[in-house]
Amino acid sequence: SRPPYETDSEEDDDSDGVHLQAEAGTTADRNTMIEYLRTPGKRFLSLKKDKARLKDCLLMWGNARPHTATDTREFLTQRDVEPVKQSPYLPDLNLCDRFLFRKLNHLLKTSLEATRRLHSPEDELYDQLRKLRGHCRDVIVTGGDYVY
């Protein structure tokens, strides 16, 4: 059977940020994760919307099963890709924890009708990625101290 997405050839890319975007309804298991990592051309959309090579990507990894599966780790190791693991002591560096969950919490507190607006526009996601990059730089500058 054919995967729920197209594959693309890998091309050089000088982008400075990427995010993984799965099609709606795609089950994220270890096989899907490996297939996504194998074909980063369309799967990784950079801030400039260009293609990206896997070895050029900085993977911010969590503890989700597709991320921690032995098959996924071996696949990345064979390609000399080392994911950046999330520190349990610095959850504010995690994009979802820092920005998206905060927005979700605010919208849910606002009203029940707000749940219809939970889908964030793509531009807003890119803006949050830029903010995360700046926040990471601030944490590095302070030597790892907590930054508000």
Shared domain for 101 and 75, answered yes or no, is no
Which one has a higher pLDDT value, 134 or 7?
A: 134
The answer, as to whether pTM is greater than 0.85, is: no
Whether pLDDT at 12 is above 60: no
The number of distinct structural domains making up the chain is 2
Whether pLDDT at 103 is above 80: no
Distances (CA, A) of 99 to 20, 66, 105, 128: 16, 22, 10, 7
β-sheet bridge partners, residue 44? 20
Gap between the Cα atoms of 143 and 32, Å rounded: 37
In the chain, count H helices and then E strands.
7, 4
Shared domain for 27 and 79, answered yes or no, is yes
Strands (E) in the chain, as ranges, are 18-20, 44-46, 60-61, 84-85
* Percent with pLDDT over 70 in the chain: 40
Shared domain for 26 and 67, answered yes or no, is yes
pLDDT at 50 (0 to 100)? 59
pLDDT at 128 (0 to 100)? 78
Helix, coil or strand: residue 41: helix
Shared domain for 80 and 95, answered yes or no, is no
Q: Determine the structural domain holding residue 121 and report its residue range.
A: 91-141
Give kind and range of the element (H or E) at residue 67: helix 65-68
